[in-house]
Structure 1
Amino acid sequence: MADQQLELLIPQGTVTYDEHNRQTTIDLALGTPWIHERKAYCGLREDLDHQSDHQPIAITIMTAVETCDPPDQWQWQRTNTQTLELELQRNLPHPTVLDSEASVDHRVQGLVHAITRAIDASTPKAKPSDRSIPGWTQECKEAQRTARRLRRRYQRTRLESDWEAYCQARNYKGRLIKKTLRDAYRARARDKAGEGQGRRSRHLCAEATTTWSTTTKPRQTYSKRRSSHPNLMWICPTLQNQRYSDQLTFPPITEQEITRAIGSMAAKKAPGQEGIPAHILQLLLLYLTPHLLQIYNASLDLQYCPAHFRQSKTVVLPKPNKKDRSEVKSYRPIALLNTLGKALESILATRISQAVEEHQLLPHTH
């Protein structure tokens, strides 16, 4: 200790090991003079006790640390479905005729506002904590509280019966926590394994600790690509006088198509800028379908894509096994589109795919 200039931080005589009838100060906390001068507290933390014979020791040091506020996280598993539906019905916009681009945008904004209000009223937000454990349940918390309460009782009475009761509660708590966390990990692993590489990337962007929003001006992007590809606007001579057949027509979008498109979305995929995940739309599909049916068909009739559908959030993820992080190619940009717009895109993509096969618009070698 003298060679390393270490000093004792914990008060002398503090019991740090308690096993049935034996109490010792075997666990020590040491620090350099710089740490000792800035020590605010060093002692036992009973609230961190996990029923081990060794008592947890906490050290608080007064120093300047740069911190950042973590983003708000919704506890989707605790969503009150009944409150969600009632709040949505209370805030849904009144049906009106959608005969202009402005009316379509206004209806979309009203629908998004109603869904957002319903989420705020029915879904709690997680409290950020450095000690949060994925998969931790209220049952685990109750078992932990019971074991701590019985431990404190034994420390007061030192009776053999209280020791036996504490040991039973401690062993049950350990088995319960081990099983709960193992099942939660396996469930997350199954979800990630069944989503594919592309969907895993979208999950990672929501869990990444650092993301960068990117904005690119279309004019600058076009100028760079135009200068790097001077023959970009070259037109094949055989296509200049080409005559095409009559344009294909599509019937109006149906409720079945909307139900199929939203129902087939990945429930836990990261949402876009609006923050509405797909599983919320699936829960509210009965109330949203009439409004979406009118919005989607009006968009096709007016040949207009609502402004809300064109908004996106771009996050940049670092590629694995890249040594030089200063190069642009070491990162992968991913655009997260709004969920309501992705449903319309899915419907149109399905229709185009069916039309291509039905009318044989692609060569046989394709």
Structure 2
Amino acid sequence: MRRADASHPENRLHFFPTADPDSWVPQLDEPTRGTLWEVIQGTPGILDEEEEPPAPHNRQRHPPPTLMPEHRQYGAPEPPRLQHLRIWQQNVNCSLTVQYDLLHSADPCDFDILAIQEPYIDHLKLTRASSRWTVVYPDGHLDSNLPCRSVLLVSTAISSNVWRPLNVPSPDVTAISLTVGGHTIHLLNLYVDGAHDRALHAAARAVQRQASVQGADTGADSLIWLGDFNRHNPAWDEPRNHHLFTPQALDRSQHLLNYLADFDLEMMLPAGIPTLEVLSLRNLMRPDNVFSSSDLADLLPWRALRGDAISESTEADFDAHLQRLNEAIASAIEQEVPFTNPTPFSRRWWSKDLSALRKQKQRAGRASFKHKHDSEHPAHEDYWQIQNQYAEHIKYMCKDCWTSFLDDTDAHSIWTAHRFLKRGQSDGGAAWIPSLKSLADPSHILTDNDAKGEEFYHTFFLPPGPDLPPTQEDEYPQPRFDFTDISDLQVECAIAALRAFKAPGLDGVPNEVYIHCRHTLTPLLSTLFRATFWLEYYPDIWKLSDTIVLRKPGKTDYTTAKAHRPIALLNCMSKILSCCVADVLVYQAETLSLLADYQFGGRVGRTTTDSIQLVTKTVKDVWR
């Protein structure tokens, strides 16, 4: 579905179904179409045999490839195929309702990138997304007074190590660069205004700038231009739309054709497929398009976009026993714990009633499209009534969900509501690490994840200080207490103190497993913990942690490593052992008075609040 730009005179349109294959009725004299487009190799076996329009300025252009049946998908979406880059392109006409419908229709399991033109932008210059998408805005959109008319939503299933945003100084162009198997693809999402070509010029300059930076290696780079071009030409519009081929319209489209020839781009969407219906005239036209490099293949190693888990193991006897215990826990989880099905809805307020209404709206849209030549047919009015009912129901469900959440808050959930309000508005997309400025050389920009990781490592973990001079053994003080073995009761209490719903470590075993199975696991863990001190050995697997980088709240610039903070996700077994040892040390330190009396902070009953209360009590005691 899409709606066109209301500022363009001929684009006063209503919603038009294009994503559902059932909307293409058999009696149309048009090429058969699938539910989505895929980038394929323009081989002679799949080229359109019709004659191409004259090339601009006598430039040679290859005929556009068409999609053969074996390249199309019909009916229900197939399981994700990682060898394809799956893109959903749509103009939502700045409508929040349409963008919500898009987020619920485009499952991240089925699509890798959402290319949105004229997205919904609120007063804070933020769009709307879900946590399964990373939002890419035009360069400098927060500092520009011009409206943002292009955004890209990249699935979080794609590793951020293989893509990065490209800086294009235009609010109508959003671009990213993907590197897969040594092959680089520059994807540009454009909204081209009907009155000027500034977006085309900005995109062309960005491509030329990338070519100049790459130098001789530009032959390995490919391009994808897609979006709402607002251009009419016989090369892609139906011949019956000859009234759109005015001299001014052809001149506008000629600029686009020139750039397509300059960069050797071919039209991937077959000619004659409409993407838009004008509201006033009920005419079908083609302002949207997809162009890509002629050498772009459909079998690039997209599997490299997904990261693989890393496993660690050792050959020591202790580690072998520990590994058997970990395998037993993992096997029990696999056999007894069912998988949690992620919600099929991007928003918690989405319901089955909305899904039923959407199907009803799509059914009415197909009926309206079937009778498109009869403007007086009642199917058109039925479609509009159902469409309005669907939009109003979305607004009502969104507001009702938030109101019900606030009404049902209790002593625990009220803090969740407080966090929502304190954080302020956001686009709802997943956070990602932007390009960083090196602390050593601010002019050096770090773009890949390895360089960013090195920068964070040197920022978060300071180098160790110089080694201490050797100390004679007789200079150490006498031990104040003898360390005793960790008991089963200590381990059970440490497990009971674990907090639920926390992110697990590298082993992937959450705290809930130990909490619910503490009576079974306590004797096994106690034996391991006691052996740790008997052997004076700490396994390497417990030393590993997953450092997660979080943004510090309230910062205006996140292009430096100091604007972020780390948290460490440790193996839960190591956390239980650390908790047991910490309890022993705290008890002995407090019992034997090993800490100074004026030591506040890090002690039970000795926080900053306690110190203020002590000062207040002392002053009041003097007054009395």
Given the two structures, how large is their TM-score scaled by the length of structure 1?
A: 0.55
Distance 1:12 1:362 in 2: 72
- For residues 332 and 172 of structure 1, do their structure 2 counterparts lie closer, same or farther at Cα, with a shift above 3 Å needed? closer
Q: For 2:338, which of 84, 103, 123 is the aligned residue?
A: 123
Show structure 1 runs of 5+ residues with no match.
15-27, 45-58, 73-100, 157-170, 198-206, 227-231
- Please say if 1:267 is aligned against 2:481: no
Q: Summarize the alignment of residues 172-251 of structure 1 with structure 2, pairs less than 5 Å apart.
A: 190=412, 193=415, 209-210=431-432, 214=453, 224-226=463-465, 232-233=466-467, 242-246=475-479, 248-251=481-484
Partner of 1:360: 593
Partner of 1:311: 544
Question: Alpha-carbon deviation of 1:193?
Answer: 3.3
Question: Alpha-carbon deviation of 1:356?
Answer: 0.9
- For residues 282 and 124 of structure 1, do their structure 2 counterparts lie closer, same or farther at Cα, with a shift above 3 Å needed? same
8 Å Cα contact 1:314-1:333 kept in structure 2? yes
Partner of 2:199: none
1:81-133 CA distance string (max 9 Å, x none):
xxxxxxxxxxxxxxxxxxxx92321222222222223333423254586x422
Q: For 1:344, which of 577, 600, 605 is the aligned residue?
A: 577
Distance 1:285 1:222 in 2: 34
| 321-330 or 177-186: bigger deviation | 177-186
8 Å Cα contact 1:70-1:128 kept in structure 2? no
Q: Give the total of aligned pairs.
A: 281
Higher helix share: 1
Task: Name the aligned partner's letter for residue 133 of structure 1.
Answer: R
Q: For 1:282, which of 508, 512, 515 is the aligned residue?
A: 515
What secondary structure does 1:313 align onto? strand
Question: Alpha-carbon deviation of 1:322?
Answer: 3.1
Task: Name the aligned partner's letter for residue 124 of structure 1.
Answer: F
1:30-76 CA distance string (max 9 Å, x none):
995615768867589xxxxxxxxxxxxxx996478xx997999xxxx
Partner of 2:45: none
Q: Summarize the alignment of residues 1-366 of structure 1 with structure 2, pairs less than 5 Å apart.
A: 5=8, 7-8=10-11, 34=229, 42=275, 62=290, 102-121=316-335, 122-127=337-342, 131-134=345-348, 140-141=351-352, 143-144=353-354, 190=412, 193=415, 209-210=431-432, 214=453, 224-226=463-465, 232-233=466-467, 242-246=475-479, 248-366=481-599
8 Å Cα contact 1:269-1:278 kept in structure 2? yes
Task: Name the aligned partner's letter for residue 259 of structure 1.
Answer: E
What secondary structure does 2:229 align onto? helix
Distance 1:215 1:362 in 2: 38
Show structure 2 runs of 5+ residues with no match.
18-91, 94-117, 119-192, 195-227, 237-266, 278-286, 293-301, 309-314, 368-391, 420-428, 434-448, 600-624
Aligned-residue sequence identity (percent) comes to 22
What secondary structure does 1:334 align onto? strand
What secondary structure does 1:315 align onto? strand
Question: Alpha-carbon deviation of 1:209?
Answer: 3.3
Distance 1:338 1:302 in 2: 20
What secondary structure does 1:105 align onto? helix
- For residues 151 and 363 of structure 1, do their structure 2 counterparts lie closer, same or farther at Cα, with a shift above 3 Å needed? closer
Distance 1:257 1:209 in 2: 39
